[in-house]
Amino acid sequence: MPLIIPATQGILAIKISRLTDFPLGYAQLEKLPDGEKYVRISTDVEGEDVILVNSFAHNPDEMLIETLFLIKTLRDYDARSITGVFPYFPYSRQDGRLIRGEAFSLKIVADLLRSAGIDRMIVVDFHLHRLKDLNSFFGFEVKNLTAMHKIADFVRKNFEMKDPIVVAPDEEAVRWAKIVAEDLDLDYIYLQKMRIDAENVIIDSAPPDVSGRDVLIVDDMISTGGTVVQAVKALKKVNCGKVYVACTHAILAKDALKKMLECGVEGLVATDTVLSPISHVSVADIISDCLLSLDW
């Protein structure tokens, strides 16, 4: 039976353990006074299939170093296999080089994980754009799950909307908006976005067919909230009704939640891939189902 090791941001590990009946192990994780990470695996992992659970939200660089130390230590102490459950994965937006001299951040992270000795990775709603084959890119098996069906179910039960329509705030978000729209038997559209920098975007206009209709904005992640705020402004200009927002990963950097509420968002929902005030949907069951389906 596989053994689950929770890392610093491994709250999901407890939920997964309860759903799968896989036992929990223990890792001692500390941040030393000089900022370095101390890692010690306190459970005997020799010959074990280990499931390492961590989220890379909020402190991605620190969590990456911690995870690399854990993977390498598990390998050093002869774990039979190492499966990483990393529901929110960092640097996924840097999936290529747009400007000469840029670091190919995601490729560097992939190389580090592979070199450390990981065998398999499970992620949720990975921010794919240019990447078509995650297995080839990372060099090990990657299972990319989606939380959009669960989000759609939450919306159905909790958001009361009048003549609703699903809106992707940009073309990249269409693949997630489409899933939610199909589950709710609704139409979907997408807006045209131009990004200025990491925190600022421009959305010039919205289609007129949202007039008088409540709107559900769907995306994979909300970081600064800039895209949502601009989308709401564009939709309000063409007299939409109430605006609701749903995403998988609620990073909510700085005052993102406050900005979205101030611009008129009626309700928001996200998952527990990143713990936040709007994390009303858990992905523990879809991850557990995936783990139970594997050939250990």
193: annotated active-site residue:
yes
CB distance 140 to 114 below 8 Å: yes
Considering all CA atoms of the chain, what is the largest pairwise distance in Å, rounded to the nearest integer?
62
- DSSP alpha helix (H) spans, the chain: 11-20, 60-76, 105-116, 134-138, 148-158, 174-184, 226-237, 256-262, 284-293
φ, ψ at 126 (rounded to 5°):
-60, 135
93 — pLDDT class (breaks 50, 70, 90): confident
Percent of the chain whose predicted confidence (pLDDT) is above 90: 83
Q: Would you call 40 helix, strand, or coil by DSSP?
A: strand
Residue 208 confidence (pLDDT): 72
pLDDT exceeds cutoff 80 at 59: yes
Q: Which of 270, 284, 171 is nearest to 222 (CA)?
A: 270
Q: Which of 51, 100, 105, 97 is nearest to 74 (CA)?
A: 51
Residue 290 sits at the vertex; the CA angle it makes with 288 and 291, to the nearest 5 degrees, is 65
Stretch 91-106: mean pLDDT: 79
Gap between the Cα atoms of 91 and 104, Å rounded? 9
DSSP-assigned letter for residue 23: P
> Whole-number mean pLDDT of the chain?
92
pLDDT band at 199 (very low <50, low <70, confident <90, very high): low
| Model confidence at 203: pLDDT above 70 | no
Catalytic residue among 132, 157, 162, 193: 193
For residue 196, what pLDDT is reported?
47
Cβ partners under 8 Å of residue 143, min gap 6: 120, 121, 122, 123, 290
For residues 88 and 64, the answer to whether their CB atoms sit within 8 Å is no
